[in-house]
Amino acid sequence: MTPTTPIDRSPVRARVGVRVIVLVGLLWTLVPLAWMALSSFKSDTDVTSPEPRVFFEPTLDNYAKLFSGANNLGPYILHSVLAAGISSVLAVVLGALAGYGLAGTRFRGKKQVAFWIISTRMAPIAVVVLPLFLLFRGAGLIDSVPGLVLAYLTFNLPFAIWLMSAFFSEIPPSVEESALVAGCTRWQAFRHVVLPLTKAGLVTTFVLCLVFSWNDYAFALVFSGPDSQTLPIAADQLVTQTGIDWGQLTAIGTIVVLPMIAAGLAVRRWLVTGLTLGAVTGE
């Protein structure tokens, strides 16, 4: 009889372990979001019930209250869309231009410059808010959408430059050189050859900047006012000394979360590609 070789089940166990961890992570993330969405369709009695109610009669009262009366949510949504959208587009455009220059230029201290750029993004918001507030107050930008756009751009632009420079560094120099030899100017080579190759990077940078700006509370609290308040501020107004309106709060939470989930799903192919190119590690 020939001795049998024991089967190594370590890879199988490792795969099972990884899948279990991923499943637990998904449940940890998705269950609270699903419960919040369900709670937004509950009546005040159901949502404040001591015992969690999975089965209930759905109602749209919470959403109706949000879009009626003096505290209509419409202007808050408009301010969020304008501030987050414009600032994210500007961050991507300026970040792509600066990142291209940083990636394609060789000079002493290049790595130190790249680190300095991203280090400004690492600064705590509390450190940045006060000097920005003084500057914005002097420029008359407090309580205005342009002020919020500039505030978000100040925080997002260093990140966009750092991330886009890493994407441009992934492109072989021969690609641009071939375009220049073919008769393209430097701008034409960048616009028609190099930039399309970084589509995944552009999408990734835009989505990450958009998520920060859309969800921001600290900047909106300091720089916005009655004419420019965003959705997180509207949610904060439902928490008062007399109590918390959980029904409307979960409805606002659902309104805030769903657009970002939809945006992530719509560009997931480019987002996954961008995040797996190794660009997030920088140079």
Q: For position 278, what pLDDT does the model report? A: 47
Q: For position 256, what pLDDT does the model report? A: 93
Q: Are residues 34 and 151 in the same domain?
A: no
Q: Are residues 166 and 39 in the same domain?
A: no
Q: Is residue 3 part of a domain?
A: no
Report how far residue 83's alpha carbon sits from residue 143's, in angstroms, rounded to the nearest whole number. Answer: 12
Domain count, the chain: 2
Q: For position 41, what pLDDT does the model report? A: 92
Q: For position 2, what pLDDT does the model report? A: 54
Q: Are residues 20 and 98 in the same domain?
A: no
Q: Are residues 27 and 149 in the same domain?
A: no
Residues of the chain short of pLDDT 70, as ranges, are 1-10, 274-283
For residue 38, the enclosing domain spans 13-47+56-61
Q: Are residues 163 and 239 in the same domain?
A: yes
Q: Is residue 7 part of a domain?
A: no
Q: Answer for the pair 147, 79: CB distance below 8 angstroms, yes or no.
A: no
Q: Answer for the pair 66, 251: CB distance below 8 angstroms, yes or no.
A: yes
Q: Are residues 35 and 169 in the same domain?
A: no
Q: Are residues 78 and 40 in the same domain?
A: no
Q: Are residues 37 and 143 in the same domain?
A: no
Report how far residue 39's alpha carbon sits from residue 33's, in angstroms, rounded to the nearest whole number. Answer: 10
- Which tokens belong to 143? 């309580």
Q: Is residue 2 part of a domain?
A: no
Report how far residue 127's alpha carbon sits from residue 188's, in angstroms, rounded to the nearest whole number. Answer: 41
Helix (H) or strand (E) holding 157, with range, is helix 145-169
